[in-house]
Chains A and B, each alone.
Chain A
Amino acid sequence: MQELVLTQPVRSLEADSAREIARSQKHRAFESCLAECDPLAFRIAQGVLRNVADAEDVAQEALLRAYQKFDRLQELTRFRGWLVRVTFRLALDRWRSMKRRERRETEWAAPEWRLAAPTAEQIADSNAFQARLEQALDELPEKSRLVLLLAAIQGYTLDEVATILGAPVGTVKSRLFHARKALAEKLR
């Protein structure tokens, strides 16, 4: 004698709830990363753009992108490096478009004069030093810029910068040395 048993369809609520649990776990993981890394994103953007409103905007955009791609991240330890790269790239894009706009707007009145080269001591003492430093920073290669900004962020050691960049500490030291020297030579 045969006994027939009627069963529910395979696609059940259990699968949906498991998916929902996984999603909420990822959301929690991202939240913890967010609390840790939002100052980092802002500071990198601020270092490139030197404008609080723009830096905040870029940091938001970078964090949102990181959230949307968070599912693809295999290791949470790489989140900081990933976020730094995204932020730096977005900030550079915005900085370039700002420069282009500035150039278009002031093209007709571009001053041809240059300041007489002051001594290193005068430069360091002058009020214009920060502006010249920022200009010199803009002229550096991207890798040098990023390593200088990361190393200048309070609380970040060279080891941490190396972890963020995914490079050996020796490489970071070397990049930092060349970046600082290049900056000093531009400011001399």
Chain B
Amino acid sequence: MNCKQYQEKILDSLAAGAANLSPEIAAHQNSCTLCAEFYQAHQRLFHGIDTGLQSLVNQPVPPSLLPTVRARLDENPMPQRAWFLSWNPVAVAALAILAVAVSYALHRPHSSVNSGQIASTSQQHSTTAQVVRDKTTMQADPKAASVLPGTNHKVVVAPRNAPASSVDVPEVIVLAEERQAFAKFIADAPVGGPVVLAMAQPANPESDEPIDIALLRIEPLEVQSMDVPGGE
């Protein structure tokens, strides 16, 4: 090591507050006057730093400090903690989650309810469906509507026991096993076509009278002989 490296070591040793130098450095500074002077000068410097810092912070505390603080404390009483802050944070978080869950359960979309009802009513072999052409004609809850693929037709499935006042749109009763075919029929039907419009519009109560359907009559057929006269 050269003197510069030794001096660096001396500086480190003094900065670390070591009481004595390591034997190697001590041996070098005994033989090197330059390093010995460096050591002594820096020893004084660090002593000055320590003394200066101590004189800076260890000033006598003014006797007025404590009485003044006490007087100010009396003026400003300890604030009461808000009632909810004194709760355990875990309990508060659990309550908040519970409140959110209850709120969601109460206000969840109707579609999920209706889809559950579809499953239950499918076993009863019939489902009440409402065909709605567009949003303007749809008076039921829009969340309950399902869009048929490839079209803008909507089929609203209402529960069978829904009150009549809640469903003002015309209804089409579809058997469960025919529901898929019915959906395809609606999807394929031309928009604004007479068939679909007739299904979507409510029947006129005046003209909605039972129709007498005449019994099917089969006219007697004339069966002609296949034999060609004079064939054989």
**Which residues does chain A contribute within 8 Å of B79, judged by CB atoms?**
68, 71
**Taking A119-B41, A184-B45 as contacts, is the C-beta distance between A64 and B62 under 8 angstroms?**
no
- Which A residues are CB-close (under 8 A) to B69? 34, 38, 59-60, 63-64
Q: Give the complex CA separation of A180 and B40 in angstroms.
A: 17
Whether B225 is near chain A, meaning CB under 8 Å from some CB there, is no
- Interface size class for chain B? 35 or more
Contacts of B48 in A (CB 8 A): 123-124, 129, 133, 187
From A148, which residue of chain B is reached at the shortest CB distance?
B53
Q: Are B78 and A71 in contact (CB under 8 A)?
A: yes
The complex places the Cα of A124 from the Cα of B48 at a distance, in Å, of: 6
The segment from B12-20, B96-104, B192-200 that touches chain A is B12-20
Pairwise interchain contact A52-B52, C-beta atoms closer than 8 A: no
Residues of A within 8 A of B47 (CB): 124
Q: Which of B109-155 contact A (CB under 8 A)?
A: none
- Roughly how many angstroms separate A180 CA and B53 CA in the complex, as a whole number? 11
In the complex, what residue of chain B is closest to A43 when comparing beta carbons?
Answer: B57
A164 to B62, CA, bound (A): 23
**Known A56-B64, A56-B65, A67-B78: A133·B49 in contact at CB below 8 Å:** yes
Is the Cβ of A68 less than 8 Å from the Cβ of B42?
no
A interface bracket (residues with beta carbon within 8 Å of B)? 35 or more
Q: Which residues of B lie under 8 Å from residue A39 when comparing CB positions? A: 61
Q: For A154, what are the chain B residues with a Cβ–Cβ distance below 8 Å?
A: 54, 58
Contact of A46 among B17, B52, B56, B81 (CB under 8 A): B56
Distance between Cα atoms of A63 and B12 in the complex (Å): 38
* Least CB distance, B39 to chain A, in whole angstroms: 11
12 A-B residue pairings within 8 Å (CB atoms):
A23-B80, A38-B61, A43-B57, A44-B57, A46-B59, A47-B53, A52-B62, A60-B72, A67-B76, A70-B78, A120-B41, A152-B50
Question: Interface residues, chain B, CB within 8 Å of chain A?
Answer: 11-12, 14-17, 40-42, 44-50, 52-59, 61-62, 64-66, 68-70, 72-73, 76, 78-81
17 more CB-based (< 8 A) A-B contacts, given A56-B65, A124-B44: A23-B78, A23-B80, A34-B69, A46-B59, A56-B62, A67-B78, A120-B41, A120-B42, A121-B40, A123-B45, A123-B48, A124-B45, A130-B52, A134-B52, A149-B56, A149-B57, A177-B16
